[in-house]
Chain A
Amino acid sequence: MRTLTCTTLATLLTLGLAGPVAAEIRIGATLAETGGASFLGDPEAKTLKMLVDEANAAGGINGEEIVLIAYDDGGDPNKARTFATRLVEDDEVVAIIGGSTTGATMAIIPVVEDAGIPFISLAGAVDIIEPVKPFTFKTPHTDRMACEKIFDDMKAKGITKIGMISGTDGFGASMRNQCMSVVGDYGIEVAADESYGPQDADMTPQLTNIRGIEGLQAVLNAGFGQGPAIVTRNYAQLGIEVPLYQSHGVASKSFIELAGPAAEGVRLPAAALLIADQLPEDDPQRAVVVGYKTAFEDATGEPVSTFGGHAYDAFHILTGAIERAGSTDPQAIRDQIEATAGYIGTGGEVNMSAEDHLGLDLSAFRMLQVKDGNWVPAE
């Protein structure tokens, strides 16, 4: 089918008729729809498809239809790079959204930077936008921001001595390093630095050692997947009394289901999406997050996740930029993405600049805690 379209297009081009006929905007995506990172890529892909249909039903961008060309890279950097190359060279897209994982994103960056195609990543690490690369942007908060938000909260509560326990997977290790690099600014001492494998079934030895620390005031667990749920259960099993902080990596309803009653009182930083229904009426994000949550849950029948929200923000930042640019010239689109200001998304208010290709500040994170089996804003 695609070959047919291509042939037709080529014929039209030779006839000089392409202008008015090929009125479509081609957006590329390479996401981890399957594989180990599919819990990221799956809601992201579903969100993009939903938004493209929605936008086309409303008349497209500047009257032009959007065509989404999405590949499944399975979170594999090699495949991500291949697909990025194919998107740029064969599919001739005007922009790429994707890279569900940091690994895949880092593999895509050289391709888009060479080709001069704007690229919005959906992965977490701060390295993606630091140092700033001209064509690379991202929507999710960085793990360093999560650390800062957590340490802000600890400082406000007068906590100065904590234990850390982190997963050895990419997410846990990266967040641990970011936390270690900023913790000094908050006058907090990390008295224990334990780790666990992503598939471990019991973390009581590590937690026993943390519990034994004199004057321990809080514990921070950096990780995602089943690890944090098991840490939380073991935490309750050992009867540790001090507050437990989790990372944004487990900001979902399923964490509470997996950890059970042990999750009660756990604190973590997360995007407003998680507490969409509880946001006050005058909250600027309320309309956006409630709208996305309802649309996604109606379209897929699955609970909304912050990861899909990253794709939502990426799509709207991109289409906003194309609209303002008034053309599909990649350079013009890039300039307009960088000029994004005051965009309210699921992740917070985005104000990009030449020095900041993320555009979020700490206010984008809300401190939440588990109360009666639900996420509520932390007091």
Chain B
Amino acid sequence: MAELMQFLMSGVTVGAVYALVALGFTIIYNASDVVNFAQGEFVMLGGMITVFADQAGLPLPLAALVAVASTAAIGVALNKLAIEPARGAPVASLIIITIGASIFIRGAAQVGFDKQLHRFPSISGDDPIRVLGATILPQSLWVLAGALAVFVALWLFFTRTLMGKAMLATSNNRLAAKLVGINTDWVMTLSFALSAAIGALAGVLVTPITLTSYDVGIALALKGFAAAMLGGMGNPKGALVGGILLGLIEAMTAGYISSQYKDAAAFVVILAVLFAMPQGLFGKKSTDRV
């Protein structure tokens, strides 16, 4: 029983990290159908800028705020400098541009910051919380709370605000959105700013658990992307459930079968789900009118 609980706790810890990263993919995808492969770099920037702002003497909460704000600015710059000039290009080309951007940001971070691993203190200490013989670190709960908060905010944004609906309209049909008076360029800029900010927030929250360095983005983005695909790309609920599910599958496999097969088992489940439900667990069926 204690073992099962511990595996569950581990699954939730890792799953919350994946979910928070997966949520970052949602906004840009919803605005433009582009899967932003630089999302992991936003997570990395969130952690690294916090570390270096903290070292420069800022108090930690302020450093985190600086990290989120400057990463959002970098997101805007990415859109203005790389995505907007290629406006007419097909989605696949835009995705490839984001891959290029991720390599660029990683290289710049390697030179601009350093190549070492970093960490800053957890929000509320490192004393494990005991539940039924198992333990979980308070920071895991913060990550989980962060993921839930972002989820609720995104859900409200897309269903309750004009801006969110304008964003969905832009992704649905850019020309039509323009015709009804939506400033689609502004929507794209906003989507990059928000995605980058969410990524950076994820970076700030997960760094005490995963540690950070210039190259953590690749692995985090890969797992976050897998989680988003599992749950259904573009759906905040899917990102949340997909992330937690992925974490739980990994923890259970590592605990009960073998740690060697942990990643394989997770990807087999993803393949099986996508085979039966190509849109993911919560993805909308898309119909194209011809």
A residues sitting closer than 8 Å to B (CB atoms) are 34, 36, 38-39, 42, 168, 194-197, 199-202, 204-206, 208-209, 212, 225-226, 229-230, 233, 237-239, 254, 257-258, 260-262
Contacts and interface: CB of A to CB of B under 8 A. Distances in A.
19 contacts: A34-B115, A39-B115, A194-B259, A196-B259, A200-B14, A201-B206, A204-B10, A204-B13, A204-B135, A205-B7, A205-B259, A212-B3, A225-B117, A230-B209, A233-B126, A239-B135, A254-B116, A257-B119, A258-B211
Contacts of A212: 3
Contacts of A260: 119, 126
B60 interface: no
Given A38-B110, A195-B260, A199-B216, A205 B10 contact: yes
Given A38-B110, A238-B135, A226 B117 contact: yes
A228 to B, nearest CB: 11
Given A202-B14, A205-B251, A254 B206 contact: no
Interface string B202-221: 00001001110101100110
A193 B7 CA distance: 18
B211 A226 contact: yes
A202 B17 CA distance: 10
Q: Which of B13, B110, B119, B254 has the most CB of A within 10 A?
A: B254
Contacts of A199: 210, 216, 219-220
Contacts of B206: 201
A208 B17 CA distance: 21
B9 interface: yes
Contact of A201 (B13, B118, B128): B13
Contacts of A230: 209-211
B6 interface: yes
Contacts of B211: 226, 229-230, 258
- Contact-residue size bin, chain B (C-beta under 8 Å from the other chain): 35 or more
B119 A201 contact: no
Nearest to B126: A260
Given A38-B115, A257-B119, A204 B216 contact: no
Contacts of B80: none
A87 to B, nearest CB: 24
B65 interface: no
Given A201-B14, A254-B116, 18 more contacts: A34-B115, A39-B115, A195-B260, A202-B10, A202-B14, A202-B209, A204-B135, A205-B251, A206-B254, A208-B6, A226-B117, A226-B210, A226-B211, A237-B128, A237-B135, A237-B137, A258-B211, A262-B126
B119 A258 contact: yes
A7 B226 CA distance: 56
B263 interface: yes
Contacts of A202: 10, 13-14, 209, 251
B209 to A, nearest CB: 5
B245 to A, nearest CB: 16
Contacts of B6: 204-205, 208, 238
A238 to B, nearest CB: 6
B255 interface: yes
B174 interface: no
A194 B209 CA distance: 20
A208 B255 contact: yes
Nearest to B137: A237
A261 B209 CA distance: 14
Interface in B157-207: 206
A205 B9 CA distance: 9
Interface string B74-116: 0000000000000000000000000000000000001000011
Nearest to B4: A208
A181 B191 CA distance: 54
